[in-house]
């Protein structure tokens, strides 16, 4: 854990990344999820809520007293497990997400939620805000732009704080095994999204899964470039998988990419 990190209890770790930007980690959960709380002058946003093994609401309440909106980066169960504990919820306004609303309630389909992986059941919620791609969430003094970053899953979004040059990339980019082997994964989408992200040199990229060291996963432009290079070479057939079943490509010493046969799309 870094000097900026501390334990909230025996489950949640908190790291202050920048003023008003907190990483809330679950180092004891086997997927080591990291959720992000961004606090502005007028409001706060919780980006991802973890698998819901423990209630995250007390952690958030200890960090901010601003009106809070919770928003998932995508619907996978390890990011949406605590959504139902919050009353004000936002979703990215993507057709694939809009189609999940029935009788004013949001029901995640299992091919986007994947709850059966760990025996988890979606709890229906009401969505109060549908934010379009490109929308700037204004928290008062802090603005976050919503970017569509599919590849891992079709509904994945990232948040960009342009002023501070911080990208919350969720499952699009973190250290370790990146998953393009789940339903809806797409390497062509991954490449298009990575090309669109080509960003400022000093960007800090924060991912949604960490390492056992208990430190929030920080990456940089070099990691994004490594991903881009790997994706282009996979497309061109010049990078071969180091292992198969599923195909596993080395991206760098820090990351690997796991790919299902379906995820190659029109590249194969
Ligand atoms: Zn995911």
pLDDT in tens, 96-142: 999 999 999 999 999 999 999 999 999 999 999 999 999 999 999 99
Q: Which domain holds residue 187?
A: 5-176+183-236
Ligand 1: centre distance to CA 41 (Å): 30
- Kindly report the number of other CB atoms within 10 A of residue 102's CB atom: 9
Structure tokens given for 49: 């809520």
CB 46 within 8 A of CB 68: yes
Q: For the domain that residue 137 is a member of, what is the CATH number?
A: 3.60.15.10
Structure tokens given for 255: 């990351």
**How far is 35 from 26, CA to CA, in rounded Å?**
9
Domain annotation covers residue 34: yes
Confidence of residue 94 (pLDDT cuts 50, 70, 90): very high
Percentage of the chain with pLDDT > 70? 99
Average pLDDT, the chain: 96
Ligand 1: centre distance to CA 43 (Å): 26
Domain annotation covers residue 109: yes
What's the structural domain count of the chain?
Answer: 1
Ligand 1: centre distance to CA 155 (Å): 10
Length of the chain equals: 268
Ligand 1: centre distance to CA 152 (Å): 7
Ligand 1: centre distance to CA 74 (Å): 7
- Kindly report the number of other CB atoms within 10 A of residue 109's CB atom: 13
Ligand 1: centre distance to CA 153 (Å): 7
**Which ranges in 26-139 belong to alpha helices (H)?**
57-63, 77-80, 95-98, 110-113
Domain annotation covers residue 142: yes
């Amino acid at each position: 854990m870094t000097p900026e990190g501390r334990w909230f209890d025996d489950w949640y770790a908190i790291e202050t990344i920048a003023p008003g930007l907190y990483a809330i980690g679950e180092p004891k959960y086997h997927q080591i999820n990291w959720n992000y709380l961004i606090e502005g002058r007028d409001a706060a946003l919780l980006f991802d809520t973890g698998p819901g093994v423990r209630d995250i609401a007390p952690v958030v309440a200890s960090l901010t007293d601003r009106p809070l909106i919770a928003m998932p980066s995508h619907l996978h169960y390890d990011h949406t497990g605590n959504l139902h504990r919050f009353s004000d919820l936002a979703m990215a306004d993507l057709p694939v997400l809009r189609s999940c609303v029935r009788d004013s309630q949001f029901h995640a389909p299992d091919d986007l939620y994947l709850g059966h992986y760990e025996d988890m059941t979606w709890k229906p919620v009401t969505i109060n805000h549908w934010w379009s791609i490109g929308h700037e969430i204004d928290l008062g003094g802090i603005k976050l732009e919503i970017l569509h970053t599919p590849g891992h899953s079709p509904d994945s979004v990232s948040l960009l704080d342009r002023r501070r040059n911080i990208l919350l990339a969720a499952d699009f980019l973190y250290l370790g095994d990146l998953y393009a082997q789940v339903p809806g994964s797409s390497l062509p989408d991954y490449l298009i999204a990575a090309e669109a992200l080509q960003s400022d040199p000093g960007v800090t990229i924060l991912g949604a899964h960490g390492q056992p060291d208990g430190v929030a996963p920080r990456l940089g432009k070099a990691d994004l470039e490594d991903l881009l290079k790997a994706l282009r070479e996979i497309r061109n057939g010049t990078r071969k998988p180091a292992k198969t079943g599923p195909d596993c490509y080395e991206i760098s010493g820090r990351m690997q990419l796991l790919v299902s046969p379906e995820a190659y799309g029109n590249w194969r």
